[in-house]
């Protein structure tokens, strides 16, 4: 009997949790989750406006040759911003390559965030200082890092949480399943947040998994799970707040799946018209998370026209700063190629470093 009760407690809601309909009106489908305070919702809106403008600017910079590649998260702003707002300063964020807006919302400098995508370095910021792991390109490897770090923090007596952002394609990787199993067994304080945006590059969800929802994948490992409307900022923030509190209280990991959509292509190198119809894209544009939250806050008199203008002006100023930073040419140090490869350099690496140093000295001489 106890096993049945425990299993039931792990199951996600039958339908995604949501507070707002696509038109921004209030609905009663939130499953008892508490609505976030008004000031946090206004801040979420401000960061979503900022994040969308940042995303558009970064996309434009790829066309100007200032970025090698950029994976847009347009349409996923509610997920990106809520991920940052749900965390406190001591918590760790483990992002993927598509989560630059989450890093902006976390307060990192745009130039440092885009260093990876520009090709200057593997990571442009200090992970230890920012509590943000390097953006991860290999699918699902960051889930293991998050689970391990969360376990270590718990053993040290720290009340911090690790938060791993994941795409739907990553749930098909072995690392994802190993991380869930480890985290559940050791009750590691980690939240696994799957942004199911409909496609793993060009592979649609229905060709990835036969599960009714990815959230159900947590149940078999003993991980409490939930699914949420990823374009409803109220719902995402409320569910993530609850998940982080659950993990922080020592009750074990949580798996949350957000149902959202990738409006733009996989990256600027991808032609999404080859595998999806424009009508599908337009359908999801109607569920725009920024407009949905704006409509709700305006109707509640929590957001005025002046506020909207002010936030948009802030976003334009921010985008101009991103342009200025990325338009400045970088003079990379060739010797930095050998840094951060091994904690203690191997003999082979030391020999390679000496060879490059000698060649540079010969050229300069």
Burial (CB < 10 A; 0-12, 13-18, 19+), residue 205, is middle
Q: Are 296 and 26 in contact (CB under 8 A)?
A: yes
Tokens of 36: 């976030």
3-state helix, strand, coil in the chain (%, to 5): 50, 10, 35
How far, in Å, CA of 120 to CA of 101, rounded? Answer: 19
Tokens of 63: 């066309």
The yes-or-no answer on residue 310 being catalytic is no
How far, in Å, CA of 95 to CA of 101, rounded? Answer: 10
The yes-or-no answer on residue 145 being catalytic is no
Kindly provide the b/e burial profile for residues 245-280, where b requires at least 16 CB atoms within 10 angstroms of the residue's own CB. Answer: ebbeeeebbbbbbbbbbbbbbbbbebebeeebeeee
Element housing 226 (H / E): strand 224-229
**Which of 104, 135, 85, 101 has the alpha carbon at shortest distance from 239?**
85
168 phi and psi angles, rounded to 5 deg = -65, -35
Catalytic residue among 106, 118, 145, 266: 266
Burial (CB < 10 A; 0-12, 13-18, 19+), residue 123, is middle
Strand partners, 254: 191, 224
Q: How many residues does the chain have?
A: 365
How far, in Å, CA of 256 to CA of 235, rounded? Answer: 12
Catalytic residue among 275, 276, 291, 353: 275
DSSP string, 124-142: SS-HHHHTBPPPB-STTHH
Burial (CB < 10 A; 0-12, 13-18, 19+), residue 23, is exposed
Catalytic residue among 30, 145, 224, 262: 262
The yes-or-no answer on residue 353 being catalytic is no
How far, in Å, CA of 75 to CA of 276, rounded? Answer: 16
For the annotated catalytic residues, the residue numbers are 262, 266, 275
């Amino acid at each position: 009997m106890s096993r049945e009760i425990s299993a039931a407690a792990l199951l996600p809601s039958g339908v995604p949790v949501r507070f707002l309909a696509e038109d921004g009106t209030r609905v009663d489908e939130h499953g008892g989750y508490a609505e976030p305070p008004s000031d946090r919702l206004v801040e979420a809106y401000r960061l979503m406006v900022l994040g969308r403008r940042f995303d558009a600017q970064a996309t434009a910079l790829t066309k100007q040759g200032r970025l090698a590649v950029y994976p847009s998260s347009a349409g996923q702003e509610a997920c990106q911003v809520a991920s940052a707002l749900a965390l406190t300063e001591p918590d760790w964020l483990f992002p993927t390559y598509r989560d630059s807006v989450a890093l902006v919302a976390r307060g990192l400098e745009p130039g440092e965030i885009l260093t990876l995508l520009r090709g200057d370095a593997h990571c442009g910021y200090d992970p230890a200082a920012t509590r943000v792991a390097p953006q991860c390109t290999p699918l699902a490897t960051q889930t293991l890092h998050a689970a391990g770090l969360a376990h270590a923090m718990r053993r040290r007596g720290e009340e911090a949480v690790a938060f791993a952002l994941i795409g739907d394609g990553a749930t098909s990787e072995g690392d994802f399943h190993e991380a869930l199993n480890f985290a559940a067994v050791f009750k590691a304080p980690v939240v696994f947040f799957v942004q199911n945006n409909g496609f793993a590059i060009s592979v649609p969800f229905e060709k990835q998994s036969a599960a009714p929802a990815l959230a159900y994948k947590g149940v078999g490992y003993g991980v409490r799970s939930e699914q949420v409307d990823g374009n409803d900022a109220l719902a995402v923030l409320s569910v993530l707040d609850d998940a982080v509190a659950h993990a922080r209280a020592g009750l074990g990991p949580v798996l949350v799946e957000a149902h959202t959509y990738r409006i733009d292509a996989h990256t600027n190198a991808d032609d999404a018209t080859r595998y999806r119809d424009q009508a599908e894209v337009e359908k999801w544009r109607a569920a725009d998370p920024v407009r949905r939250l704006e409509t709700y806050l305006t109707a509640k008199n929590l957001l005025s026209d002046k506020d909207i203008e002010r936030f948009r002006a802030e976003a334009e100023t921010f985008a101009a700063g991103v342009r200025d930073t990325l338009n400045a040419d970088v003079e990379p140090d060739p010797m930095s190629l050998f840094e951060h490869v091994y904690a203690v350099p191997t003999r082979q690496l030391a020999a390679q470093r000496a060879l490059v140093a000698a060649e540079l000295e010969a050229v300069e001489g």
